[in-house]
Amino acid sequence: MFKSLLIANRGEIAVRIIRTARRMGLKTIAVYSDADANAYHVAEADEAYRIGPAPAAESYLRIDAILDACARSSAEAVHPGYGFLSENAGFAEACEKAGLIFVGPPASAIRAMGLKDAAKALMEKADVPIVPGYHGDNQDADFLGEQAEKIGYPVLIKAVAGGGGKGMRRVDDPASFAKELKSAQREAGSAFGDERVLVEKYVARPRHIEIQVFADSHGQAVSLHERDCSLQRRHQKVIEEAPAPGMPPEMRKAMGEAAVAAAKAIGYRGAGTVEFIADASDGLKPDGFWFMEMNTRLQVEHPVTEAITGLDLVEWQLRVAGGEHLPLTQDKIPLKGHAVEVRLYAEDPAKKFFPSTGRLLRLRAPENMPHVRTDMGVREGDEVSMFYDPMIGKIIAHGETRRIALRTLRGFLSRMEVAGPKTNLAFLAAAMAHESFIAGDIDTGFIDRHLDQLVPKGPVEPCVLAVGAAAHLIGRSAVLRAAQAGSDEPHSPWAEADGWVLGGHRAETLRFIVGGENVSLTVAPEGNGWRLSGEMVGANIAVSAIMDGDGTISATVDGVRLKAACVPSGRGFILVHEGISTDFSIVDPLDVDIVSDADTGSLKSPMPGKIVQVLVEPGARIRKGAALVVMEAMKMEQTLTAAVDSVVAAVHVGIGDQVEAGATLVAFEEKPG
């Protein structure tokens, strides 16, 4: 066995690999870009080496820079993680040439599965069922149209070099085929430098079911059962589970055997996943699944397999790479209980899941929940940068039954505290509680179909407003007390609030902007707390609260005890309650600014992209929330809005401009005073 391992990746997967490697006594070596100099994975590793600037193309995707870090650190083996170089056959080859052990399959196996058309042809030969369709060389539009007719609509056009759901179009009728073909080819060309596509049958009620396989270098291969990854948005997974709900044992066996045959057909070694599409319109059946593709690496969702088998797949990867035999034979692979994983993303479900960035002002998980595992990529205080995948981490629950696992996970999510960038936390919790999901009535259209129920909208709950008002009053008094005591800058704005319960002297009106709405609340002292009234809370609410120095609030609202967290942000604070975070901006100019570190002097581009529309001119008076600029980034349009009321001083971009992340788009006038 080798003694040192370089992890050519970042974020949660790097942290997760380091954890196992350390347990196995290996020296762990991280690499980092300039954006990651202080990242979690760097802090966790024994050593870390800089490999270049922030953009992945100049750091994590640079084979020469990674090999150089290997040489400098005398690493013996390299783990590529997922994404980045993990499915790059040239990288696997370069590692071997440099005398390094590549923790993954042989380059030839990566190549065999790299293109979807060649992979399908190969699987057909190995008698693995494939989705009916055309995957030949002819790329003529009319010819492909004829093939689509032959297959029968609806069909799916896929980029042969595709990945991450890109270059994929569903076509429902012949009339739109030519147009969709063109757009798929264009997207494939720009994403993969390869315009070629294949056309296949669109499976009616598709469920994504995949098999985890493992092979060693002694000709053994096993399947570690299936995972169901049908809950997807934009053809990308967000919730995964094992085993698949409603899976008949004979189908599990058939799929496992097909996957092992696939692995053997390409001389596979290490961990791999064979992805199948199943038709769920009439329940799962042993003859109702077809090969989609093979991912020749560790998968994001591998922890659900670890949970039901009790195995550590990274340990298996390292042992197999070190030349050992597979630790277990097929009949010894356990399957215990049920596991569900959710991917916590910095993204906005209400805006088509558009990625969000920024500092994680709060990131806390409930403790003492032994059946829940968290694989985080960032810590509280870290930045979710625009350069990489916006995944914050994964949360995995295991239970004796699916229902127990779902309930455990839902309870965990509702007690998590995340504030800063927009996240999908509340969306995930809503999915865990959705009747149809609990019933196992799932397919890849689930999220789109139930979006309205999964993305909580509507007015902010009165109890949240009440707790917000209490938090504000306590925080304000704490800041005032600190100022009176002459203490300069308490390190937490709540530092003086500890254990302090307050009633003021007289009634006053508080004004906030909450979730874009103006909220006006009258508060009058009563007992240990206040009585609130106002349009959004009805006639009367009694609230009392205690906040500790960390912003954790215990409140009583009309006799009901609840917990929340209050995190200073911009010109107000964020209140986190039951997994939902609500922004409170303080309007009253006479109020003490609890904290104001937000840069409101200009609008900066959140990510690299193209300007599609400019909606303001210099001199324009704008309100908080007003649309300023529309940009296209990561293949989506995003409207950038004003963070505060202001006046436009200058507009620095025009339609069609290509802008870098962080570029100033619009400048505002300095606020007097």
Residue 80 DSSP class? -
Q: Does position 236 bind ligand ADP by CB under 6 A? A: yes
Q: Which stretch binds ligand ADP (CB under 6 A): 194-202, 262-270, 371-379, 417-425?
A: 194-202
163 binds, among Mg ion, ligand ADP, none (CB under 5 to 8 A by kind): ligand ADP
Are 132 and 151 spatial neighbours (Cβ–Cβ below 8 Å)?
A: yes
Min CB(236)–ligand ADP separation in Å: 6
Q: Does position 279 bind ligand ADP by CB under 6 A? A: no
Min CB(352)–ligand ADP separation in Å: 17
Q: Does position 11 bind ligand ADP by CB under 6 A? A: no
Euclidean distance between CA atoms 77 and 570, whole angstroms: 45
355 binds, among ligand ADP, Mg ion, none (CB under 5 to 8 A by kind): none
Residues 328-367 binding ligand ADP (CB under 6 A) are none
Q: Does position 299 bind ligand ADP by CB under 6 A? A: yes
Q: Which residues contact 97 (CB under 8 A, 6 or more apart)?
A: none
Min CB(113)–ligand ADP separation in Å: 11
Q: Is 169 helix (H, G, I), strand (E, B) or coil?
A: strand
How many residues in total does the chain contain? 673
Min CB(645)–Mg ion separation in Å: 46
Q: Which listed residue (91, 202, 289, 354) binds ligand ADP by CB under 6 A?
A: 202
Q: Which listed residue (16, 166, 225, 571) binds ligand ADP by CB under 6 A?
A: 166
Are 122 and 265 spatial neighbours (Cβ–Cβ below 8 Å)?
A: yes
Q: Does position 117 bind ligand ADP by CB under 6 A? A: no
Q: Is 404 helix (H, G, I), strand (E, B) or coil?
A: helix
Strands (E), 135-183: 155-159, 168-171
Q: Does position 237 bind ligand ADP by CB under 6 A? A: yes
Give the other-Cβ count within 10 Å of 628's Cβ: 22
CA distance to 115, 131, 523, 671, per residue, from 123 (Å):
12, 11, 70, 65
Cα 112 to its chain centre, rounded Å, is: 29
Cα 159 to its chain centre, rounded Å, is: 23
Nearer to ligand ADP (CB atom), residue 201 or residue 252:
201
Q: Does position 212 bind ligand ADP by CB under 6 A? A: no
Q: Does position 129 bind ligand ADP by CB under 6 A? A: no
Min CB(237)–ligand ADP separation in Å: 5
Euclidean distance between CA atoms 238 and 455, whole angstroms: 14
How many residues of this chain bind ligand ADP (CB under 6 A)?
Answer: 31
Strands (E), 166-235: 168-171, 197-201, 206-215, 221-233
Euclidean distance between CA atoms 84 and 7, whole angstroms: 12
Are 84 and 49 spatial neighbours (Cβ–Cβ below 8 Å)?
A: no
Q: Does position 88 bind ligand ADP by CB under 6 A? A: no
Min CB(419)–ligand ADP separation in Å: 24
Nearer to Mg ion (CB atom), residue 68 or residue 275:
275
Structure tokens at 567: 């995190």
Q: Does position 232 bind ligand ADP by CB under 6 A? A: yes
Q: Is 269 a catalytic residue?
A: no
Q: Which listed residue (52, 80, 206, 551) binds ligand ADP by CB under 6 A?
A: 206
Q: Is 531 helix (H, G, I), strand (E, B) or coil?
A: strand
Structure tokens at 578: 């039951």
Q: Catalytic one among 10, 233, 297, 343?
A: 297
Q: Which stretch binds ligand ADP (CB under 6 A): 21-29, 159-167, 312-320, 464-472?
A: 159-167
Q: Which residue is nearest to Mg ion (CB)?
A: 275
Q: Does position 235 bind ligand ADP by CB under 6 A? A: yes
Min CB(636)–ligand ADP separation in Å: 14
Residue 477: in which H helix or E strand, if any?
helix 462-484
CA dihedral 654, 660, 664, 666 (to 10 degrees): 30
300 binds, among Mg ion, ligand ADP, none (CB under 5 to 8 A by kind): ligand ADP
Q: Which listed residue (215, 277, 466, 648) binds ligand ADP by CB under 6 A?
A: 277
Q: 């509702």: which residue's tokens?
A: 414
Alpha-carbon Rg for the chain in angstroms: 27
Min CB(208)–ligand ADP separation in Å: 4
Euclidean distance between CA atoms 190 and 183, whole angstroms: 11
Are 319 and 216 spatial neighbours (Cβ–Cβ below 8 Å)?
A: no
Q: Which residues are catalytic?
A: 297
Could you list the residues that contact Mg ion (CB under 5 A)? 275
Could you list the residues that contact ligand ADP (CB under 6 A)? 82-83, 131, 156, 158, 162-166, 191, 200-203, 206, 208, 232, 235-237, 275, 277, 292-293, 295, 299-301, 389, 444
